[in-house]
Chains A and B, each alone.
Chain A
Amino acid sequence: MSSLEIKDLHVSIGEKQIVKGLTLTVRSGEVHAIMGPNGTGKSTLAKAVAGHPSFTITSGDVLLDGRSILAMQPDERARAGLFLAFQYPSEIPGVSIANFLRAAVQARMGEGEELDATGYYKRLYSKMDLLKIDRKFTSRAINDGFSGGEKKRCEILQMAMLEPKFALMDETDSGLDIDALRIVADGVNALRSTNLGVLMITHYQRLLGYIVPDHVHVMWDGRIVKSGDKSLALELEAKGYDWVKKELVRA
């Protein structure tokens, strides 16, 4: 059983404090949903955990299986089992999906170990078929000219290939059409059954209908201000964030 523990995390960009003391533990096989208004620090949280160099962790800790990952480079964190599905995936002209994923798979192999190219392509194509991604995409440059939905599907393809322990999925549902949403949800549910832990940032109840969360958290101004089960998402959908705000003021 693995765990990802975020402990009293404070994150700033330059002088500006964005995440202001956030605590959360995700265990293998669990899905935690984070919801919250725009600009509240959800992406900042996800990127800081993944090790983005622009963000400074001023206090708190992030532990993977009990060990702090804060001193690790982003690539080390990824190889240790973290995966960030980006809200806005980078476009990288000139680097093909096939070469990129091969480099990522190779990075996880031991010194002197050779990648079995046939096996690699077989696995890649079977994942692409599952996600209904045209095989022609392997020779296209990473996200270059991809539609919004194609980018998100490509993120899930990478996740499926790299088999992380924990995935931070930042608005993977936005931009997906209904069919794609179902395909992605099926993909995540399949990985969940093999013990993937998920921290899922979303604005929409719709996704949570397909990927049923164990916990739902509301993030507000850099903190988790309310947690509950899946019914909290429905309540939010019905009442809006003003309801949370009023509760906060009352408290």
Chain B
Amino acid sequence: MSIIKVENLSKDFGSISAVKNVSFEVEEGTIFGFLGPNGAGKTTTINILCTLLSPTSGKAFISGHNCKDEPSSVRKSIGVVFQDTTLDKDLTAYENLLFHAYLYNVKRSDRKARIHDALHFLDLYDRKNDLVKTFSGGMKRRLEVARGLIHKPRVLFLDEPTLGLDPQSRAHLWEFIVKLPEMHNVTIFMTTHYMEEAEVCNKIAIIDNGEIITRGTPTELKKTVGGDVIYIKTSDNMKAGPEIEKLFNITVNDKNGELYLTVPKGDALIPEIIRTIGEKVLSVRLQRPTLNDVFLKITGKQIREENVSSNDTMKNAVRSYRKKFDRN
């Protein structure tokens, strides 16, 4: 059953079309990834789904409720972790969650237990009485996820949950996120532009310039790129190359002293190659297509430049500006 349904959704900001005629559905109990570069329209779509923006045209439904016309039913069934933190830094972790429990009218008898469960689940229980301003970025993010779970939403939105975190904190956060659908019976709608993070998603839609350019499971999408690449170093490339070509009927190329070939199932082919030209092989490595390659193939550009984009520089500037104020 689809818990999120989006039909021909568009949103204009003046002359900018942030979202253009987007349609998709999300199955209950799955992790849905909305991927795209900066300014693609991910946050705008989330804002429409969580009732903070009304669409210019088109419709969005969450468990059958129209996001525009029945905001209060929609709000009851969703939890949101916004791209920028929305915690009160002058309150403790516990107080932030308690604030949330009251806002969502959680029964008095359940409040404490739910807050404690959420804190335990995200590994923050020991810090529950500390002011949030003393938390690291990763802890704040986990606290926001914990908060989003307090009222037992049916859908949890995570807008760039790992943005700005170091690789360790990112991995730590993902550990919790992947357990959510099963343990908390919640559907996850997440955005990211770290493509490798999207591997955990059951379904993915890639959005660029406000339009969905492709969708499917991570495996399906990666298949469209054309398969795995096997790199082989041998003691005699001149001989080994044609030998492999003849045996498996594939083109083999030579690059930087390494042979490489593209095949649909690389892992199955490696043992055969070794069996036939084994004595010449020095090393073999397999490169699987990444979601990045998918984006690259469709749009001809990288989803995320390795060097810091100007947009990120701006975000960092805003962050440090905020930090200055947060101390007050």
Q: Do A and B bind each other?
A: no
B residues contacting A by CB (< 8 A) are none
Residues in A lying within 8 Å of B, measured CB to CB: none
